[in-house]
Chains A and B, each alone.
Chain A
Amino acid sequence: MNKIIFLLIIFCTNSFSQEVRSTQSLNLFSPTNIKKFGDYLFCQHDYLRASIEYEKYLQNSFNDTVSFKIGLANLAMGKFENASNKFLSISQNSVFYNLSRLEYLQANFQTGNYDTYRDLYENLNLNSHYKYFFKARELYSFSFLFTDNPLPQKKIFLNTFPEGEQNKIGEFYSWKSDPPYKSPVTAALLSTVVPGLGKIYTHKYSDGIFAFVTVGILGYLAYADFHANHNFRGWLFSALGAGFYGGNIYGSAASAQIFNAEIKFQFFNDLKNFLEEHNYFVPLINFCK
């Protein structure tokens, strides 16, 4: 009986010590564990800490996946320059070469460097058989809609895109080639002839009506006062009327410029919404399944 008790004690102590020894021997800062922790942080969207852990890992080991993930982490944080540097550091022999070049291009597009995007696309020699190459090609065409460079021919432009999207993109192309801007000179001239008409031309209807009414009332008051020999009041209302009349002409020209800025803003917004809805910038690999 005593033997059994002693054996039991030894067995229990050993089992317990196995567990203690496993945490004793646990090196939280070994390269493997640093990478594991980095992967965990990456999937928790704690990108800054993940990239710091991955950089620590790369000090001791070389790993393309980790470099690529550092690039993705920097992209997610909006650090496009750091992301670009990381993507460019991935060698041609790597499995991630094409993807990294694609992400690098996308980083430039997302920061609004459309001219740079086109230059890089033309010089990068992406493998045309690569399955995501079409994305880069579509973004190349799209970049023309964001800049003031001459547009390519409509047919060539639209053929870059799948058939289902060509209608919508055709509308964008038509807008870009002939935007429905309003002329400030026309607006000013219209307001010279009829106060407020220039504002109505630029779709500011209530502003136009108020301008017409104000200039009209002041003009009438000036006329009525002069007619009744109230010269001081006559000149006062004349001066005010002239001021509002001049202001209405000036304001109509300014209103046309603001209208043009508004429709341009709306156009770019529609373009960005289209890109988001069609998942142009969704990460191509999900490391956190």
Chain B
Amino acid sequence: MKYIYLILIFFTVRQEIFPQDALASQFNYAKEIYNEGHYFDSITEFKRLIFFDSSGKYNFTANQYIGNAYKAGAKFSNAINYYTLAEINAENYNELFTAKINIIRVNILRRTTNRAFQLLDSLNCDKKFSNKKKEIYYWKGWAYIFADDWQKASGAFALTDSNETLQKLCEKVDKEEYSVLFAQIISHLIPGSGQFYTGNYLSGLLSLAWNGLWGYLAVKAFVADRIFDGLMITNFLWLRFYSGNLQNSKNFAEEKNLKIANKALKYLQYNYSGTKP
């Protein structure tokens, strides 16, 4: 009798020794398409997997992959939707953290950095992720980079202890950048000096010359008691060129800073080998 039972168990179990689960092969198929770079089709196959997976076993992973595919296609709103679904279906704290960080990375990429900071702060305050502080500071650094605040980015990378390259790059950019406030202040005092500070010498000379000319003529008119002439020159000419000088000092400083920042961003995108948003 024992042998009959053993035979029965053997035949029952035999079919399960090499299972060919349809969902598992669908998952592998979808992953293969994703790895080949056919992101649109991979999303379709992962959605198919989710639809037929009544147990929800693949919900987290499939939603993650869909989010990754949308991110690769620069469809950031859709990517965030699916990372959010992955977050809802996370089965442990590691998966939850991964999903949340992915949402933060997409917010960084599309430059909604205020939202990224909010999410990073909530992660920082969450006791569940107290062992993930370095990673949180790492992404905070990236968020500051995309928010064009290189000084704070450098500070954030310093707290990660291991990203000296990024810290030094951010410090370098911060030092190279021009101070917009300084340019505006000196332009208030001496018209054209802000332009000299940013290296736009010709514009600075012209600004100085025009302001000098109209200022001289206005003062001469007031001294000669030609008040109306003095007011007209001051209002329509001198003030116009003076405010133009202030505008230019600000714009030139910002334009130079944009070039410096973009050079660093280009390096980070194409030459930096670490994890990027």
Instruction: List residues of A whose CB falls within 8 A of some B CB.
Output: 2-3, 6-7, 9-10, 13-14, 16-17, 20-21, 23-28, 33, 36-37, 40-41, 46, 49, 52-53
Contact = CB atoms under 8 A, between A and B. Distances in A.
Interface of B: 1-2, 5, 8-9, 12-13, 15-16, 19-23, 26, 43-44, 47-49, 51-52
Contact of B12 (A17, A25, A33, A41): A17
B48 A37 contact: yes
25 contacts: A2-B2, A7-B5, A9-B9, A10-B5, A10-B12, A13-B13, A16-B16, A20-B21, A21-B15, A24-B19, A24-B20, A24-B21, A26-B22, A26-B52, A28-B22, A28-B49, A37-B48, A37-B51, A37-B52, A40-B51, A41-B47, A46-B47, A49-B47, A52-B44, A53-B44
Contacts, number: 57
Contacts of B22: 23-28
Say what secondary structure dominates the interface of chain A: helix
Given A24-B22, A28-B52, A37-B51, A13 B44 contact: no
Contacts of A17: 12, 15-16
A233 B158 CA distance: 69
8 A-B pairs with the lowest CB-CB distances in the bound complex, closest first:
A6-B5, A26-B22, A13-B12, A49-B44, A23-B21, A23-B22, A40-B51, A10-B8
Nearest to A26: B22
Given A33-B52, A37-B51, A28 B26 contact: yes
B23 A23 contact: yes
A25 B20 CA distance: 9
A164 B47 CA distance: 47
Output the residue of B8, B44, B48 with the most chain A CB within 10 A. Answer: B48
B47 A10 contact: no
Given A20-B21, A24-B21, A3 B1 contact: yes
Contacts of A33: 52
Contacts of A41: 47
B9 A13 contact: yes
A6 B15 contact: no
A20 B55 CA distance: 12
A3 B6 CA distance: 11
Contacts of A16: 16
Contacts of B20: 24
A20 B21 CA distance: 7
A16 B48 CA distance: 24
Given A2-B2, A26-B22, A37-B51, 14 more contacts: A6-B5, A10-B8, A10-B12, A13-B12, A17-B16, A20-B16, A20-B19, A24-B20, A26-B23, A37-B47, A37-B48, A37-B52, A40-B51, A53-B44
Contacts of A49: 43-44, 47
Nearest to A48: B40
Contacts of B43: 49
Contacts of B12: 10, 13-14, 17
A3 B9 CA distance: 13
A49 B22 CA distance: 21
Contacts of B19: 20, 24
A16 B12 CA distance: 10
Nearest to B50: A40
A28 B49 CA distance: 8
Nearest to B54: A23
Contacts of A27: 22
B9 A10 contact: yes
B31 to A, nearest CB: 15
Nearest to B25: A28
